[in-house]
Amino acid sequence: MESVFERVEPGARKANKRHILNCALACFDELGLEATTVDTIRQRSNSSIGTIYHHFGNKEGLVAAIYLAALDDQQALITPAMELADDPKGAIAALIKTYMDWVSQQPRLARFMFQARSLVASSHFKGELDARNKQRYGSLLNYLAEGVKKGEIRSLPRETYASLLIGQSENYCRAWLGGRVKGTPAEHAEIFAEAAWRSVACSP
């Protein structure tokens, strides 16, 4: 099955870069972000320090590369799913279901994202992260604005919608990734999609 890094960084010429990314992800997952060093990744990937720095600059760059690749992969799946929706409720359901399916299929990468989010947000990659998030929620906000005009969705501060819609499903995904619940996120996506809709709808 095609991996996330193959989808985001396709082509034979990028095989070595993908290999380093996969090895780095494995190290971060097994040892944690702080304990993993560039030398640890070098040994795991059987690469040179020079090659790693050429592709990613440093450890911070590696963390950001994995994180942004994961966001890009999610968005490549979420956007077309939302575009097929007939109305705001369908768009919200597509967002939640696609996200929870992705987490179920990519647990190691999803766990990494929760661990690395604050690090990437506070690094000099913040601008790239902000651009990804703007793109991620841009189409959703358009659907919400349409729903507000039609009287289907409550008019709320724009910055609250993302937390209301994705917060509950993210919390469940964290619990599953941490081994605190057994059912996969995909199994319960319908429940969380309905809960997301109820959190912003004018009426159930």
Write out the residue range of the structural domain in which residue 142 sits. 4-200
Paired residues of 192 in beta bridges: none
Average pLDDT value for residue range 37-66: 94
Q: Which ranges in the chain belong to alpha helices (H)?
A: 4-8, 15-31, 38-45, 49-56, 59-83, 88-105, 107-121, 126-149, 158-177, 189-200
What global pTM score does this model have?
0.92
CA distance 200 to 204: 9
Answer whether 27's CB lies under 8 Å from 36's CB. Answer: yes
DSSP assignment of 97-152 equals: HHHHHHHHH-HHHHHHHHHHHHHHHTSTTHHHHHHHHHHHHHHHHHHHHHHHHTTS
Answer whether 153's CB lies under 8 Å from 88's CB. Answer: yes
Q: What is the CATH number of the domain that holds 123?
A: 1.10.357.10
Task: Tell me the per-residue pLDDT of 120-161, one tens digit each, with 9 for 90 and over.
Answer: 999 999 999 998 888 877 778 888 988 899 899 999 998 899
Q: How many domains does the chain have?
A: 1
Q: Is 154 helix (H, G, I), strand (E, B) or coil?
A: coil
Average pLDDT value for residue range 1-24: 87
